[in-house]
Structure 1
């Protein structure tokens, strides 16, 4: 896969810097039986997209999935007490998320000890808590189970759909304000209300590490795990925080991509690619089934590498592409890979797994001919008739 650019001047060399770990959530909901929006690709579901503030230091004004930085509070040992409301055997809770991946390419994010020092909480759990907390903070949607001290419910080990707490809207806003100021308040929220984050309904989807060649205005780096979760019906209450997020939209993947190609919204490369993956699914129940079935197959981290054809087309190569380097050091800025062929010639030399920038960030096109690893699906592009 590669990203292609024609405007090399937009990219300023930066010294490679360390990155922050983050968790994001692709949240979809089936809420209409047929595609009703002009240009829609026929999906019977929508995906939640948030518009960043113009003051954001990373991709301002862009539409993104909910998510954000991981906090130490997300791996606190106190979470064991919360999960004990659903199961007495919390020590073996991590076994529900043991991934069957034996190729030594498991994403470094999941190596225990980096995020959960002295907590004993597996990263597979703490990262899911992070995604749920950030989603609540940014949208007001709380993905959790409501329980009480006198009931131990069966573990929802293989959920197709996530559970959402429906509660007083004024109370939602009170807690959102607290959590925004201190991530520990999300733990307090769950303890006081006997809510258990529905970590079982979040399934691994992808992992992206921000490349070193980003423009100065987007020079921050994040190692982000993307989870996928499905809702049976729309939440009764959602609201942007009007701080980091200034707009909240539910649209079908194809409609979102069409808005992007018509330059009505801004998307970053991971969003373009992951929305392209969703184009494989017209029915929400099929998407939910697929997501659940591959939940323990595993994933590797993708780090884009810049390349250029002889006719000036710039690309950002990803694993699986014919020209992707055999070894890439994520801590060092790599130079531009000079491919001694025109872009037209390159296209004839498969395999490909890339996004092409025909002019700038406002016009990326997915080109994918590989069979993704871990039983995942290819990213697709919109039909030319829709553009």
Structure 2
């Protein structure tokens, strides 16, 4: 088994960033922007996910500070907790040539939002604005020109509107892909989505839409849409909030604390599987991050494991809402359990 403490984990997996863009949906209930991965997508095909993708070296270029000096004022609580994907282990001189990872990851999330949905979080206007398709295509084909293109559009990346939400490492054992990502998730809240018209890129993404959070969970649990497990977990957390103002207030307040990496471990039972998260009674003391060990098997039924191992921070296959009866670190809100019959 390879211990996480014994390896340079920030270099093992591809770094990426994603954004949970939230606005008022039906009757003012929170709605979140989702994209459906195309059938040809190499990762999570046909699944509903949040806009996001791989980091580019240009997202971390100091040219951003030269072009948009206001980014220099961005600050992070020095006492916050963050996983080691935020560590820059390059030589000191090389580090001077790169942005703070906290700025770079946010730029990645904003750029991917533009590429996949055609929406731009613009600091100058304080709004999410549409980007013309021809410009969007240029950004997708030449992401290193993102900074230059924004300047020509008189736009500025609103990294200040993106709040730390969570960090996820792709688990082992996924059916559709062996690709692994260390992904930083951010939350951004907009006051109005009626004027927004997000569109797909017709490449990696087939459809784009705002979903009321309760509706997407109900559809996922009923099997009418595919929702990736990470998204299922985060949607269940968002279900705890009744208004976008409550989400905004919480995200702004908790932002100062940072995030911890979440790595899900699959536990095979005699009649199914349980995906456990940190704090669960079944969570390994030293998880197998690298996949060097055999999968864990417990010769008990899922229901027996529910009774024998009482601390729950888990999801059960086939897909369910998260089951949790413990408190989370860093003031993270716990997921709300839902079933297809719930009044979501």
Residue 211 of structure 1 is aligned with which of 137, 151, 171? 171
Residue 201 of structure 1 is aligned with which of 161, 169, 174? 161
CA RMSD of aligned residues (A): 2.2
Corresponding residue for residue 29 of structure 1: 23
SS at match of 1:125: helix
1:15-94 pair list within 5 angstroms? 18-33=12-27, 44-84=29-69, 86=70, 90=72, 93-94=73-74
Determine if the alignment matches structure 1 residue 378 to structure 2 residue 328.
no
Deviation, structure 1 residue 111:
1.0
Does the aligned pair in 2 maintain the 1:23–1:127 contact within 8 Å?
yes
| Deviates most, 53-62 or 231-240 | 231-240
Corresponding residue for residue 257 of structure 1: 217
- Going from structure 1 to structure 2, the CA distance change for 1:122 and 1:267 (only over 3 Å counts) comes to same
TM-score, with normalisation over the residues of structure 2?
0.88
Does the aligned pair in 1 maintain the 2:21–2:33 contact within 8 Å?
yes
Pick the structure with more helix per residue: 2
TM-score, with normalisation over the residues of structure 1?
0.79
SS at match of 2:19: strand
- Going from structure 1 to structure 2, the CA distance change for 1:77 and 1:145 (only over 3 Å counts) comes to same
Determine if the alignment matches structure 1 residue 164 to structure 2 residue 137.
no
Q: What is the alpha-carbon distance in structure 1 between the residues aligned to residue 20 and residue 66 of structure 2?
A: 28
Deviation, structure 1 residue 366:
1.6
Corresponding residue for residue 5 of structure 2: none
1:1-387 pair list within 5 angstroms? 18-33=12-27, 44-84=29-69, 86=70, 90=72, 93-94=73-74, 96-98=75-77, 100-101=79-80, 106-113=82-89, 117-146=95-124, 163-164=126-127, 166=129, 172-215=132-175, 217-234=176-193, 235-309=195-269, 311-339=270-298, 341-348=300-307, 349-358=309-318, 363-383=319-339, 385-386=341-342
Q: 1:40-60 CA distances to partner (integer Å, 9 max, x unpaired)?
A: xxxx12111111111111111
Deviation, structure 1 residue 214:
2.1
Q: How many residues align?
A: 328
Deviation, structure 1 residue 380:
1.7
Give unpaired runs (5+ residues) of structure 1. 1-16, 35-43, 148-162
Give unpaired runs (5+ residues) of structure 2. 1-10
Does the aligned pair in 1 maintain the 2:274–2:302 contact within 8 Å?
no
Does the aligned pair in 2 maintain the 1:46–1:252 contact within 8 Å?
yes
Q: What is the alpha-carbon distance in structure 2 between the residues aligned to residue 201 and residue 165 of structure 1?
A: 10
Deviation, structure 1 residue 341:
4.4
Deviation, structure 1 residue 212:
2.5
The runs of 4+ residues in structure 1 deviating greater than 4 Å are: none
Q: What is the alpha-carbon distance in structure 2 between the residues aligned to residue 48 and residue 346 of structure 1?
A: 35
